[in-house]
Amino acid sequence: MIGAPRVHHRVVDSTNERARALAAAGAPHGTVVTAHEQTAGRGRHGRAWMAPPGRALLLSVVIRDLTEEAALLPLAAAVAVSEACEAVSPVSCAIKWPNDVWIGGRKVAGILVEGRPQEGWAVIGIGLNTEAGPEDFPEELRPAATSLLMAAGVAVPGEATLAALLRSLEGRLGDDPRDVLEAWRARDALRGRTVRWSGGEGTAAGISDAGALVVEGAEGRRELDAGEVHLLDR
């Protein structure tokens, strides 16, 4: 079951770091680490992840018994986060490949999957801005960031959001990959938009069944399976 056992820290370096240590020590599938505050939160591409204490959900989940579908974990997690947000708040979420969750073109949640596939485990780290206000984001991030409170105008208790999130993760992580792909594609924020990636520019044309981003550029169609893409027609 996703969500038990649960370890909660008032202050911790990074819930992903703690969950990785627990996984390496044999913690069971579904173990969750949560925190009120992180001092060294990690984001994708080696960036730091900042969140105002108590105004964001910060959690990491230990996943075991990875199958060949593990490549879709980051996508399944993004679908689950989107569904949980919509279950607790009157918002509508889209996903920017591979797993940024957006509301109205602004990022409300980020997901960092780390793991040791050779040891059969991974950790899904989720940072979801629940009650943050504009003043909680550094000025340069303000135009691109949001929270459930900012987007919907109503505060939802963090524990209720966590419960919804654990439920949706339980469902989506055990889901048929075809259903995960269909749900992800229905939320694709990039499809048909002009994007730039390291090495080119073109139009986003959906995702492959392996979860790669399909892009069409001057040199034809290709699949990107890692790296960052930026929207050019914001």
Binding site for ligand BTN (CB under 6 A): 14-16, 38, 41-44, 47, 49, 58-60, 100, 110-112, 125-127
Pairwise CA distance, residues 234 & 230, whole Å: 9
Short-list 11, 19, 51, 13, CA closest to 35: 11
Minimum separation from the CB atom of position 178 to ligand BTN (A): 26
DSSP state of 187: T
Minimum separation from the CB atom of position 76 to ligand BTN (A): 15
Minimum separation from the CB atom of position 165 to ligand BTN (A): 12
Pairwise CA distance, residues 128 & 58, whole Å: 7
Minimum separation from the CB atom of position 170 to ligand BTN (A): 18
Minimum separation from the CB atom of position 58 to ligand BTN (A): 4
Q: Smaller CB distance to ligand BTN: residue 50 or 152?
A: 50
Q: What are phi and psi of 82, to 5 degrees?
A: -60, -45
Pairwise CA distance, residues 78 & 185, whole Å: 11
Minimum separation from the CB atom of position 131 to ligand BTN (A): 15
Q: Smaller CB distance to ligand BTN: residue 49 or 184?
A: 49
Rg, the chain, Cα only: 17
The single residue listed with the structure tokens 């993004």 is 78
**Whose CB is nearest to ligand BTN?**
110
Q: Smaller CB distance to ligand BTN: residue 47 or 221?
A: 47
Q: Smaller CB distance to ligand BTN: residue 14 or 89?
A: 14
Q: Smaller CB distance to ligand BTN: residue 221 or 230?
A: 230
What are the Cα distances from residue 146, in Å, to 30, 34, 103, 143? 28, 21, 7, 8
Q: Which element (helix H / strand E) includes 173?
A: helix 158-173
Give every CB contact of residue 76 below 8 A, 6+ residues apart in sequence. 172, 173, 175, 180, 184
Minimum separation from the CB atom of position 119 to ligand BTN (A): 20
**Neighbour-count burial of 81, counting CB atoms closer than 10 A to its CB (0-12 exposed, 13-18 middle, 19+ buried):** buried
Q: Smaller CB distance to ligand BTN: residue 16 or 216?
A: 16
Q: Smaller CB distance to ligand BTN: residue 89 or 99?
A: 99
